[in-house]
Amino acid sequence: MNDLSPFLFALFIGTFLAAGLVKGVTGMGLPPVAMGLLGAVMAPATAAAMLVIPSLVTNVWQLVAGPALAPLLRRLWPMMTGIVLGTVAGAALLARVDPLLSGLALGIALVVYAGYALVSPALQVPPRVEPWLSPLVGLVTGLVTGATGVFAIPAVPYLQALRLDKEELIQALGLSFTVSTLSLAAGLALHDAFRIGQLGLSMLAVVPALAGMWLGQRIRTRISPRVFRMCFLAFLLLLGLELATRPLR
């Protein structure tokens, strides 16, 4: 990956431009888009390494822009602890398992994410179960993140089910994704799957990711976010099916 062919370089730039655009319109979606597109042409562990810096920059931006960081940290630290432990442990799968099998896992994660988001069931977590459910959700999210590079399952449905207000939810997602990104980088480094050359490419990806976010925020004012979101999720569903069925061919 240090010497990208013109095709791979164009795919690399286009992927993070598209992923940033999706995040600009919907507030999320950078990791699934980036992992899905890059994972189709390279090992998922390599794709995950490319994701680290642009994901970190865009999610820290989302995290610090919100109004309730301290209360969210007090409420969600058990979940964040579970994410750290699960991601570092799960990264061994992403780094060591046959790329076809990790691609299968990535495809399944994308299908589950897109399928859930398309259905969007109205769930609510009772306050009495939150103390034990929060770290469990964090641990499972971490294992999925470590194994696939996708941060969303089951963290996003769980945070939505806490019935936070809109700004708190956006900030809570930023917190979860930031912790997931840092944990994924640590897990990949621990398992010797994150190298200096990849860090340089990951830093380069920040430029198209931020450009895409800016473009997505402008598009958001001109089109229906619901229509865009449905098209985006349908695309992820098809991409996930393609990755998941590849080992069967």
pLDDT in tens, 171-195: 898 899 899 999 998 998 888 877 7
Would you state the pLDDT for residue 197? 66
Higher pLDDT, residue 17 or 9: 17
What is the Cα–Cα distance from 167 to 216, expressed in whole angstroms? 19
Would you state the pLDDT for residue 115? 85
Q: Which of 23-27, 75-79, 142-146 is the most confident on average?
A: 75-79
**Above 50 in pLDDT, residue 211?**
yes
Q: Mean pLDDT lowest for which of 13-27, 77-91, 95-109? A: 95-109
What is the Cα–Cα distance from 235 to 241, expressed in whole angstroms? 10
Burial bucket for residue 226 (CB in 10 Å: 0-12, 13-18, 19+): exposed
What is the Cα–Cα distance from 45 to 142, expressed in whole angstroms? 15
pTM: 0.81
What is the Cα–Cα distance from 124 to 183, expressed in whole angstroms? 27
Residue spans of alpha helices (H) in the chain: 6-26, 30-38, 44-64, 69-96, 99-119, 130-148, 155-161, 166-190, 196-204, 206-220, 225-245
* Residue 3 pLDDT level (bands cut at 50, 70, 90): low
* Residue 1 pLDDT level (bands cut at 50, 70, 90): very low
Mean pLDDT, the chain, rounded, equals 83
How much of the chain, in percent, has pLDDT values that exceed 70?
95
Higher pLDDT, residue 50 or 27: 50
